[in-house]
Structure 1
Amino acid sequence: MQRPSPLKTAGLLPKVSSNPDLPESLRNSDKAFVSSRKLNSHKRKQPDSGDDCNIDDMRVSLENKIDEKLNAWKNELEISIATTIKTSMQSIMEQEMEKMRASFSDLIKQVSDRLDNVEQSLSYAMDRQDSFDTRLREMEEKMKQNIDVISQLPDLQYEINSMQQQARLYNVEIANVPERRDENLVTILERLGSFIKHPIKMSDVVSVHRVPHFDRKTTRPKNIIVRFTTKILRNNFIEAAKLAKGLKSDQLSISGTAQNVYINEHLTGKNKQLFRMCREAATKQNYKYVWIKNGTILVRQTDSSEIFAVRKEHDVKKIK
């Protein structure tokens, strides 16, 4: 916008108007004046130092406003970015927390299930332990009840053996007589009575038969068991056999290689083992006599020593 001339404004310049009635020279001069005014006006429009200051101020003000606007935008952008990041982080954290809660919940459920299984196993184990404890107490009670029986077992075995030996008091055992398929034991017994000079009446004999050995692996002939009607008859027969020493199988008219024949009391298997142990111990300790009388094992070290009986295995220790 063109500023008014200060001279004109102050009324220093006359007002000139274009009059058509003026001569051409005046109009031309007027035009020249106007042109001069215009030229002067153009010259006055060049900015002075004061205008430069205004422009700088305006530029500074504009730059400040721009800076303020940019700072405002920057702040808004930072706030927006921070808000967005915060919102995103919150969302991510919430998602992760939800996953962690779900995972933790599954883990707790698994642990709970395992604890339930462990509890069931422990309960089963405790029940089994209680059952074992109960059975153990029952067994202990039974063992306590059987202690007396166990402690009495050797005595019971001795009593049974004594009863079995008592039942053999009428018997004689004839050992090492060769066996024949067509043998006649009654005839052999009669020949034996004739040889020992103690004739046998068959009315005095209850039975005569062979019995298997206690040791099944032995190859010796089975023993002949003769049962008499009385103990006296049995004892007389044994005494007569002891007096007739050196009895052999050929003296009984039994063919084949002659074998020594032995006549003894009929002992139980237990007493036979005990008699063998006594003889072995007596041999080691130089005892002179070990014999059987009425089913009892008797031991004597010398002719003048005291006689003692061996009825049980621990009695063998007496031979020392």
Structure 2
Amino acid sequence: MDSLCGRCQESVHDGVMCNSCAQSFHFACGGITEQGYRKLGDRKFHWRCSTCKPSNKATGKTTASPGSLTPQRSLTLENVMQELDKINLKLSPLQSLAADVDLIKKDIAQFKVVEESLTNKIKLLEQKVQIVENFKDELSSLKSRVGALEEDMHTNEQWLRTNNVEIKGVPQKATENLFDIVGKIGNLVMYPVARQNINFVTRIPSRGRASNAKSILVSFINKYSKEDFVAAARQKSFTPADIGLQGSQKIYVNDHLTTRNKQLLTKAKALARENNIQYVWVKHAKIFTRKNSTSPVIPIMKESDLEKIGANLNNSGFDLN
């Protein structure tokens, strides 16, 4: 029959018995290991519990029985080796950890190299951006100067055409006499043109026309003769048949405009058609427009003038001043 533990009062199936008080204890409650108890041999018959052990009044410590669990253990080579094995077991993960630390250190070193390279590239880019910023104002100034030079070149190009007249709609022949054609037109419009008043006359390509006939370019000796000839030609509508040639299309006599001014004139006429503007004309190689006979005359020098006219028309007005 099992007895009760003298400490925890639980049933004791296998434990130790105090030789003094005859109480049974679990090994743990008796303060001794089972292995230590077995090693006592015959001395286990003299084992006493902690209550029955004689106390050391001088030191206040109880005398430990052989094999009992006490704070002071006897040091043996076996115990030392066991403890060293435990320490080695605990320290074994540190070797792997040290390898991981070395790998991390190498990665960090590589990151530092990459970071330094990127830093240098960023500094180089910043320097280039700063150079661009420094030239920003200068580029803006150069852009303005280029724009002004382009305007001057266009003005000079148009000025060089001051004495020129462009005649469109005259059929072209292989054996034609251009001086004779210009003379016939002059006679028809009541402004006779003497050959000595013409510097030169030639055919030039004419854009935007279905006919293959090139325009006739007439260069007068002076701009006054040219202006009078153009003014007289605009007073009369005539065709090639009127000057002894085949064809019923209308002949046009105009100032010799630059390509840019021709494009501007085309856009001005398109704007006039879309907005019921009655007048668009060219005088002294300059383009003008007028909504009706009582409206102010508006010069058109560039496309922004057309945009301004369009904006005023949308606001139910036409006066640009």
Into which bin does the TM-score normalised by the smaller protein fall? 0.5 to 0.7
Relative to the length of structure 1, the TM-score reads: 0.64
- Letter matched to residue 116 of structure 2: S
Match of 1:264 in 2: 254
Q: Which residue of 1 aligns with 2:189?
A: 196
- Confirm or deny: 8 A CA contact 1:214 1:269 kept in the other structure: no
Match of 2:219 among 220, 227, 230: 227
Counterpart of 2:104, as a letter, is V
- Structure 2, unaligned runs of 5 or more: 1-39, 48-64, 69-74
Residues 83 and 129 (structure 1), Cα distance of their counterparts in 2 relative to 1, 3 Å cut: closer
In structure 2, what is the Cα distance between the partners aligned to 1:249 and 1:160?
A: 36
| Change in CA separation of 1:270 and 1:110 when aligned onto 2, cut-off 3 Å | same
CA deviation profile, 1:234-271 (whole Å, cap 9, x unmatched): 112112212332x212334444x432111001111222
How do 1:200-279 and structure 2 match up within 5 A?
A: 200-213=193-206, 219-221=210-212, 222-245=214-237, 247-255=238-246, 257-279=247-269
For 2:284, which of 289, 294, 298 is the aligned residue? 294
| Aligned partner letter, 1:250 | A
- CA gap 1:90/1:136 in 2 versus in 1, 3 angstroms: closer
Q: Is the 8 A contact 1:172 1:263 kept in 2?
A: yes
Counterpart residue number, 1:85: 82
Number of residue pairs matched by the alignment: 248
Whose relative contact order is higher, 1 or 2, with alpha carbons under 8 Å and at least 6 apart?
Answer: 1
Contact conserved, 1:158 with 1:312, CA < 8 A, in 2? no
User: 1:158 — aligned with what?
Assistant: 151
Kept in 2, the 8 Å contact 1:165–1:295? The answer is yes
- Tell me the secondary structure at the aligned position of residue 227 of structure 1: strand
> Which of 116, 125, 131 is 1:132 aligned to?
125
Structure 1 position 310 matched with structure 2 position 300: yes
Specify the structure having the higher radius of gyration (Cα): 1
What is the CA distance between 1:73 and its match in structure 2? Answer: 11
Query: For residue 172 of structure 1, what is the aligned residue in structure 2?
Result: 165
Moved more, 137-146 or 175-184: 175-184
Structure 2 length as normaliser, TM-score?
A: 0.64
**Match of 2:156, as an amino acid?**
M
Counting aligned pairs with the same residue, the percent is 22
Unaligned runs of 5+ in 1: 1-64
CA 1:81–1:181 in 2, change beyond 3 Å: closer, same or farther? farther
State the SS of the aligned residue for 2:254: strand
Contact 1:286-1:301 at 8 Å conserved across structures: yes
Contact 1:170–1:231 (8 Å) recurs in 2: yes
Q: 1:131 to 1:262 in 2, by over 3 A?
A: same
User: Residues 241 and 134 from structure 1, CA distance in 2 versus in 1: closer, same or farther, beyond 3 angstroms?
Assistant: same
C-alpha displacement of 1:276: 2.4
Partners of 2:225 and 2:83 lie apart in 1 by 127
